[in-house]
Amino acid sequence: MAKTAVVNKCQEANGFSENRINELPDEIIVSVLSLLSMRDAASTAVLCRRWRYLWTYTARLDFDYFDKVCKVKKSMKDALGVGKHMFVDWVNKVLKAHQGLSLDEFRVSFCVQDETFRCDIDSWIAYALVRRVKRLELRFYDVQGNYTLTYLFLSNYILVSLVELHLCYVDVNGEVLEHFLSNCPFLEVLCVQFSNSLVNLRVSGTSLMLKYLSVRSCFNLKNMEISAPNLTSFEYGGKCVIMNLKDVPHLVEASFHSYFAWVVIRTVCQFSSYLSQLETLKLDIGYKLKCQMIPNPPKYPELRNLKQLDITLNADVSSLSDCTSLLMMAPSLLRLTLELQWESVNYYRKMKMLKAKRAHQCLKVFELVGFRGCAHDLEFVRYVLTTAVSLEKMVIDPVNEHFDICFCDPELSWLTDEKFYVTERARKLLEPILPGGVELVIL
């Protein structure tokens, strides 16, 4: 009791009242509730009578199956069985209780089951579209087949308010995406992943507001035609496709993943018309992607505007000579990030010297992710330290998301903390060769 009295006196001295938040208008409280998860927002209904229905006016609806069900069920079998019906019932009840007239965001992440919940999902999407949703994100995981979003369904709704559209494991064809583009005058972000129905994609229109386009893992895609005058960022990952970028004058950032990233590296000249205008380029060849290497790297066009270059390679099968060639063709580059992904590490191979034709005058920051301290990565570190005459910081990160190292030296078998070993190895190998004025950061 004494402690409570002291706390109350301190609160009164600072002009604090436990009910001060209730003095705020409903609009402010609803805005705050919109920042919470659906579970947390709905739980505020028990605070007092005034708060009982405030959460039903939130402008953000986020339904995550894995967060709602899989944390409650004791086993994955229960979550994938009864849990689906529990989730669908929960979403339907929330939408029935919701009283908001408009939505800033509507997100659903769900593990669908053939056509069982087709009508429910249709009604969820319809609910969002009727309330002029601005950001729509649909993620429907299913091992048997994706949920299909059709032109016939969409033609019943007005889409003018949509600004962002994210579709993952949703089957859409080119006609559906073109319908979105032609009927969403304010659409700025379009992301499509794991769509089995997408074969031909045409993004074209002088009035398009589209700024960010991402197409990944659509493995039946064959043709892409992009003419978007306001596009600033483009991402593609997947199989080799016929790609035609016609009118993209403001494109400054591009990311390529998986096999197509290797295609860009090896046939870069055919993409030179727009690569030369980029300020940021990310190339992720992909973990364990074994591509046939060409002995001599291609002659790269000058990337005169490039300021940031991120490259991810499988260190076991990739040649770092490609990285040195790209580095030399980007005279204005300020930051270079190289991520090496390993299947095995050979600490016995002798180191070779990578020779540079000229020094790099602008590079300030070099980050190496997946450092192991073998000849393969030390060669490139020495190359950067030798050629980057303006280097200010070198960041070494021994661990990446695929940290699966097989130590070849039997003397290292006693080591249980691999990261600690690699960190100490990095410090021991790099500090003696670090030029003066260069800061070494080991994460």
Residue 338 half-sphere exposure toward CB, CA atoms < 13 A: 28
* 247-273 residue pLDDT tens: 899 999 999 988 888 778 777 666 777
The DSSP result for 367-434, as a single string, is: EEES---SHHHHHHHHHHHHHBTT--EEEEE---TT-------GGGTT---HHHHHHHHHHHHHGGGP
The tokens for 34 are: 């919109």
**Beta-strand pair 189-193/393-397:** unpaired
Task: Give me the phi and psi of 125, to 5 degrees please.
Answer: -65, -40
d(CA 408, CA 372): 12
The H-or-E segment that residue 124 falls in is helix 118-130
d(CA 434, CA 6): 57
CA distances from 296 to 300, 318, 325, 387 (A): 12, 13, 11, 21
d(CA 47, CA 278): 52
Question: What does the buried/exposed string (b/e) look like for 367-402 if buried means 16 or more CB atoms within 10 Å of the residue's CB?
Answer: bbbbbbbbebbbbbbbbbbbbbeebeebbbbbebeb
Size (the chain), residues? 443
The DSSP result for 14-28, as a single string, is: TT--TTGGGGS-HHH
Burial class (CB in 10 A: 0-12, 13-18, 19+), 151: middle
d(CA 346, CA 373): 10
d(CA 151, CA 147): 13
d(CA 115, CA 112): 8
Tell me how many helices (H) and strands (E) the chain has.
Answer: 14, 19
* 13-68 residue pLDDT tens: 444 445 666 665 556 666 666 666 666 666 665 556 656 556 677 888 999 887 76
* 291-335 residue pLDDT tens: 544 445 566 678 889 999 999 887 765 566 667 778 888 899 999
- Give the residue from 431, 364, 360, 366 showing the smallest Cα distance to 391: 364
What is the distance, to the nearest Å, from the Cα of residue 294 to the centroid of all Cα atoms in its chain?
Answer: 30
What is the distance, to the nearest Å, from the Cα of residue 172 to the centroid of all Cα atoms in its chain?
Answer: 21
- 317: helix, coil or strand? coil
d(CA 230, CA 213): 11
What is the distance, to the nearest Å, from the Cα of residue 89 to the centroid of all Cα atoms in its chain?
Answer: 31
Residue 366 half-sphere exposure toward CB, CA atoms < 13 A: 26
Answer positive or negative: Cα dihedral of 345, 351, 357, 362.
positive
In the beta sheet, which residues pair with residue 247? 227
Query: Do 348 and 376 form a contact (C-beta atoms < 8 A)?
Result: no
- pTM tops 0.85, yes or no: no
In the beta sheet, which residues pair with residue 110? 140
- Give the residue from 318, 295, 299 showing the smallest Cα distance to 377: 318
Task: Give me the phi and psi of 419, to 5 degrees please.
Answer: -65, -40
- Nearby residues of 33 by Cβ (< 8 Å), 6 or more positions away: 41, 44, 54, 55, 58
- 165: helix, coil or strand? strand
Q: Which residues of the chain have pLDDT under 70?
A: 1-55, 68-82, 113-114, 143-144, 268-270, 286-300, 316-322, 344-354, 400-418
